[in-house]
Amino acid sequence: MQNILTTSVSLPISAAKLWRDERFEIMQFAERYLRVQMRQHVRREVTRTYNRCGQKFVIVTTRFTAAEYDTLHYVASSLRVSVSSLIYGVIQLWLKPSRRAIRRFFSTNYYCMAAKWDAEAGFVEEFITFWSSETHLPPPGKRTEP
């Protein structure tokens, strides 16, 4: 059984309804969106950026698997953005019909190791790896049996 974490995200009202109704489908695009975001440089010496748009925001209670939660926080922390802004970006990607038509999905493997974490020092190693989760099978009728 997967560990499910309950938290909240802040979303524009229009996106909040979509998130509540289509969260599972929208999260299928998270890896694609995170890969796009990770083309940016790691941000340091700046404050965190939050969602900005001309709408009112609402707080939405949501659930993530531990893997989803850790992956989102890793990217958000590295780019100094909020997890809410990443979720809003995934929703915006999901809203583009041309993007939904292309089913190139990726899987991720987030890993964290605390090499030293005590009152004297903290050294934590984190990384995320992406790989294509597509199967490369020939179309039906063209398969060759072993």
pLDDT tens-digit profile of 125-135? Answer: 888 887 777 65
86 vs 53 pLDDT, higher one: 86
Structure tokens belonging to residue 108: 């991720």
70 vs 128 pLDDT, higher one: 70
pLDDT at 144: 44
Share of the chain above pLDDT 90, in %: 37
In single-letter form, the type of residue at position 126 comes to E
In single-letter form, the type of residue at position 143 comes to R
**CA 108, CA 30: separation in Å to the nearest integer?**
10
Q: What is the mean pLDDT of the chain?
A: 81
Contact 105, 31 (CB under 8 A): yes
Q: Which of the four pLDDT bands, split at 50, 70 and 90, describes residue 92? A: very high
Residues 6+ apart with CB under 8 A from 38: 75, 78
The verdict on pTM exceeding 0.85 is no
Average pLDDT over residues 105-126: 83
Q: Which of the four pLDDT bands, split at 50, 70 and 90, describes residue 140? A: very low
pLDDT at 15: 94
Domain-wise residue ranges, the chain: 4-103
